[in-house]
Each structure stands twice: as C-alpha cells, then as structure tokens.
C-alpha cells in the first residue's frame, strides 16, 4: 500500500512495508494515535499499520536500527497508554485481526491485533467461546499477554490458561513459535509477562462450548452494600464454577434498560454469568435472592457475546480513565467498611469499583506454571475513575488513589498487570512476585537490549 507518510524516515519505512506509515504530517495522524484512555496524549514520530508478519519484522528492525523507541499497539486499551510512545515508532497490529476457528479441535488462531468482540463473533458461530474479558473493543493482544480475566475464568481459567501457542517476532527480528514444546521459556514468560518479550502476531487458543448463558446484573441499595458484599465474599468462592459474577459499586446509568426510579442512584451490584441451563442458574442463584431481594434483577438467558459487550455503550473510547488495582484473597469487615465509604463518594457516573473473581480453575494452576504469580488470589480488585470531561481528570484520579491507598493494606500486595497505570518498578515487581527473577532471565535471553520497554517493564537480568 502507498505510504501516507511524507517525512524522510517515514518514506524509508514505507519502502519496507505493505501497510500504511503515518507521521505527524498526515491528515489521519490524530485519529491513528488516539488511545482508548483520553487522559494519555502521546505523539509518536511514526505509526506503522502493519499488514502482515513481514511488516512487523520490518518495523521492529527499522526501529532498532534507527534507534527509535518502539511501542506495540494491539487494541490500544491499556490504561497507562502503553500501546504508544512519544517520538518513537508504533507497531500498530490493527491489520492483523483475522480469527480462524477450527470447530473439530475446538481451537482458534487469532491475529495479534484482533479485538475481543471479533473473537466472540467468530467463535459464537460454532457454539464456542474463549475465556477473556468483558468489553468487546479491548485488544486480545494486551489482554492475553497480561493474563486475561472475565466471566469464564472460574470455570475455564484465565486467557493464558487457554493459550496453546503463539507466533512471536523477537527484538532481533527473528520469528519463532512458542508453545509447551517450542521456546518453552518464552511461552512461559508471555503467559502473564506482557509485551516484554516480542510482538505476538498470532495466538492459538483452546475454546469451550459456551453459547447461551444466564447472565446480567442484580442491584441493591447502597445502604445494603456492607451486607451484600459480606454475603458475596462467602458465597461465590464455594459456588459451582459454572457461576461467576463480579461485584461492583456503580451509579445507575440514566437510560434503558434501567427503570427510571433508579437512574443516577449510587448502588452496589453483582453482574452474574452462568454457563448452565436456566434451571441450574435459578438453583445456584437462589441463596442470593433469598439473602436480599435485589432492587433490580436483570439476570436472564442471553447469547454469550451479548453479555460480553453489555457495557460497551457505557465505556466508549475517548474518556478520561484512571485506575488502581490489587489482588485480594480475604475481604475482612474492616475492608468492607472502607469500600462503602468510597462507594458513597463515587465521583462521576461511570466511576466504579469491581472485584473480578480469579478463583476456581484459574486458582488451581500452579503459581510457577505461568508468569501469573497470584493463583491464591480470589479476586482482582480495581477502582476506576472515568469521565468524558478532562476537567474532571484530577477528581477521578484523587478518588481512585485515595480509595486504593485505603484498601491496599488488605490486599496480597501486587496487582493484575493489565489494571495498572505507570506506577514504577516496585509495582511491576509486586505484580510478578516470586516469578519476577525468572522473567528477568527470560528477558535477558529474548530481549537483552530491552527493545520492548514501552510496557510494564521487566528489566533484563544482569
Ligand atoms: C474498558 C476496558 C475493559 C477491560 N476489561 C478487561 C477484562 O474484562 N479483563 C481483562 O483481563 N482486562 C481488561 N481490561 C484491561 C486490558 O486487558 C488492558 O487494558 C490491556 O492492556 C489491553 O490490551 P490492548 O491490546 O487493547 O492494549 P494496547 O494498549 O494496545 O497494549 C497494551 C500492552 O500490551 C502490548 N501488546 C498488545 N498487543 C500485543 C501483541 N500482539 N504483541 C506484543 N505486545 C502487545 C503493548 O505493547 C502494551 O504494552 C480492560 C481495559 C479496558 C480499558
């Protein structure tokens, strides 16, 4: 494809690749560099919209030989904006988004730049699903490399627990396949270690027979929040793994399907997802309904892609976004009291706190089987300040940081890497716990010059 770039370096790169090269002189530059989180505003020197694996190899070689900082962009959803870089080269994978499902082996080969919605669409046609995340515009690339959690985590594991192989372009431009039998250490490292080790041009995943689920929210008044959270912390870990549900503090959106009398009310809730029959879901959720009748009970049968994209409208790209997170095993009464204080002060309509279950099958994997070191955690907790208005950026940030600081003492110490801002080396180490040193050795082997450093960076071991 013809180059859109006009500058010297851009023209040189355009001669090397089939996809587009976009630089600041191009009309499409602002659109191409925009990130999901509008709080982050980066101005790369070049954006290489790669059309194929050869383009990725050429772009990585080009960045290295020209001394350009290199960023890799999957879906562009990273909260810290790590899919882009000021003054450097962005390897944009949005041209690599094919999803090929093999219904016989129940596997899918997914391009490194595909979104979750594209995967759900392709797999649902065969009655299959990949355990992944809950907003359809999120990139499979960043989500998978950090771990990948969602409604199917308790029953079928994290996204990395369903990764069978990956095609990877390494820092020196070589192309390898990583699996349990090829480049095993690389395969271990990319299952949680983020984009530190190379550009994944395609993922091979195991799929599961999930089609219609019984899913949706139950909401309760905020004055019931302490009781409901206290019930939920005991109930969910001992529930069948076909049931999952994330706990949330939220402000009810002012529109359908929510009834008018609840609009803009601060409430607590659980968004459930059950992979069994309606009868089984009714049975498994009976204790919840018996404990406290919800003010809204929106649980019912829906196609899996529908619950996967149910919050897309509430969280479109282009809003201010600031989050902080931790892994949690216990939720003591004192933590619940602190949670409720901050829920009463939710600063904007879209700001929220979620507790995502990571127990069940995900919790039975050995902590050294992949780079994900918190197999003992029951929840990945995240507090998120969100608002369309940049004038509210300070308010949502302050609420999030204060909330995180109040709850951090009750956590296991580190956070899910995909729920972090740019928080410094100590937080990256805390993310990987006992696996950090092994990751640093894998980094030394696969990227000794730290070419891939625009990420939650693991420095090569000495
Ligand atoms: C609205 C929203 C909802 C979310 N929901 C969930 C959820 O339900 N579950 C969950 O687990 N996470 C969730 N996340 C977090 C999400 O996993 C991270 O934001 C993740 O970084 C997004 O990946 P991306 O490819 O879209 O991001 P990008 O910003 O494109 O990339 C993120 C990082 O991954 C690297 N990267 C991306 N693709 C590749 C690749 N193919 N090869 C090498 N490196 C790559 C980038 O270099 C960068 O360091 C959500 C995020 C948002 C904003």
- Residue 1, pLDDT > 50, answer no
**Closest atom of ligand 1 relative to the 158 alpha carbon:** 11
d(CA 365, ligand 1 centre) in Å: 22
- Residue 6, pLDDT > 80, answer no
pLDDT at residue 256, rounded to an integer: 86
Chain segment 161-187, per-residue pLDDT in tens: 999 999 999 999 999 999 999 999 999
Chain segment 245-263, per-residue pLDDT in tens: 999 999 999 998 899 999 9
d(CA 400, ligand 1 centre) in Å: 20
The pLDDT-based confidence of 3 (bands split at 50, 70, 90) is very low
**Closest atom of ligand 1 relative to the 135 alpha carbon:** 3
Q: What HEC string does the chain produce?
A: CCCCCCCHHHHHHHCCCCCEEECCCCCCHHHHHCCCECCCCCCCCEEEECCCHHHHHHHHHHHHHCCCCEEEECCCCCCCCCCCCCCCEEEECCCCCCEEEECCCCEEEEECCCEHHHHHHHHHCCCCECCCCCCCCCEHHHHHHHCCCCCCHHHHCCCHHHEEEEEEECCCCCEEEEECCCCHHHHHHHCCCHHHCCEEEEEEEECECCCEEEEEEEEEEHHHHHHHHHHHHHHHHHCCCCEEEEEEEEECCCCCCCCHHHCCCEEEEEEEEECCCHHHHHHHHHHHHHHCCCCEECCEEEEHHHHHCCCCCCCCCCEEEEEEEEEECCCCHHHHHHHHHHHCCCCCCCCEEEEEECCCHHHHCCCCCCCCCCCCCCEEEEEEEEECCHHHHHHHHHHHHHHHHHHHHHCCCCCCHHHCCCCCHHHHHHHHHHHHHHHHHHHHHHCCCCCCCCCCCCCCCC
**Closest atom of ligand 1 relative to the 203 alpha carbon:** 41
- Residue 416, pLDDT > 60, answer yes
The answer to whether the CB of 77 is under 6 A from ligand 1 is yes
The answer to whether the CB of 150 is under 6 A from ligand 1 is yes
Average pLDDT of the residues in 73-85: 97
pLDDT cut 90: percent of the chain above it: 98
Average pLDDT of the residues in 412-424: 97
- Residue 85, pLDDT > 60, answer yes
d(CA 372, ligand 1 centre) in Å: 15
The answer to whether the CB of 199 is under 6 A from ligand 1 is yes
- Residue 369, pLDDT > 90, answer yes
pLDDT at residue 257, rounded to an integer: 86
Whether the model clears a pTM of 0.85, i.e. scores above it, the answer is yes
The answer to whether the CB of 193 is under 6 A from ligand 1 is no
Chain segment 199-241, per-residue pLDDT in tens: 999 999 999 999 999 999 999 999 999 999 999 999 999 999 9
């Amino acid at each position: 494809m013809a180059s859109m770039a006009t500058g010297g370096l851009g023209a040189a790169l355009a001669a090397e690749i089939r996809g587009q090269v976009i630089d600041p002189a191009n009309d499409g530059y602002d659109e191409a560099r925009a990130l999901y989180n509008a709080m982050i505003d980066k101005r790369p020197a070049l954006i290489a919209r790669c059309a194929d694996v050869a383009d990725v190899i050429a772009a990585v070689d080009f960045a290295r030989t020209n001394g350009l900082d290199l960023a890799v962009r999957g879906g562009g959803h990273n909260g810290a904006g790590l899919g882009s870089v000021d003054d450097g080269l962005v390897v944009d994978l949005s041209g690599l988004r094919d999803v090929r499902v093999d219904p016989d082996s129940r596997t899918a080969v997914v391009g490194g730049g595909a979104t979750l919605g594209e995967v759900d669409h392709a797999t649902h046609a065969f009655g299959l699903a990949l355990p992944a995340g809950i907003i359809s515009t999120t990139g499979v690339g960043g989500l998978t490399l950090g771990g990948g959690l969602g409604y199917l985590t308790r029953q079928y594991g994290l996204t990395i627990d369903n990764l069978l192989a990956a095609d990877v372009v390494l820092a020196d431009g070589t192309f390898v396949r990583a699996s349990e039998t090829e480049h095993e250490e690389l395969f271990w490292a990319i299952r949680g270690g983020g984009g530190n080790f190379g550009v994944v041009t395609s993922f091979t995943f195991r799929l599961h027979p999930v089609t219609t689920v019984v899913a949706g929210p139950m909401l309760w008044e905020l004055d019931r929040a302490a009781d409901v959270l206290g019930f939920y912390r005991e109930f969910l870990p001992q529930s069948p793994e076909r049931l999952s549900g994330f706990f949330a503090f939220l402000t009810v959106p002012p529109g359908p399907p929510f009834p008018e009398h609840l609009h803009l009310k601060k409430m607590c809730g659980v968004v459930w997802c059950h992979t069994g029959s309606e009868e089984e879901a009714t049975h498994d959720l009976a204790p919840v309904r018996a404990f406290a009748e919800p003010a809204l009970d929106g649980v019912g049968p829906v196609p899996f892609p529908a619950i996967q994209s149910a919050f897309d409208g509430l969280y479109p790209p282009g809003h201010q976004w600031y989050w902080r997170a931790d892994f949690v095993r216990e939720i003591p009464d004192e933590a619940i009291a602190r949670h409720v204080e901050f829920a009463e002060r939710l600063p904007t309509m879209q700001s929220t706190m979620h507790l995502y279950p990571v127990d069940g099958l995900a919790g039975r994997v050995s902590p050294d089987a992949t780079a994900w070191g918190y197999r003992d955690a029951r929840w990945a907790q995240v507090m998120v300040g969100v608002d369309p208005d940049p004038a509210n950026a300070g308010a949502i940030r302050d609420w999030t940081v204060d909330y995180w600081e109040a709850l951090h003492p009750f956590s296991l110490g580190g956070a899910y890497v995909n729920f972090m801002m740019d928080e410094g080396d100590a937080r990256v180490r805390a993310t990987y716990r006992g696996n950090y040193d092994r990751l640093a050795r894998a980094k030394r082997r696969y990227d000794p010059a730290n070419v891939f450093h625009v990420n939650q960076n693991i420095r090569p071991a000495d």
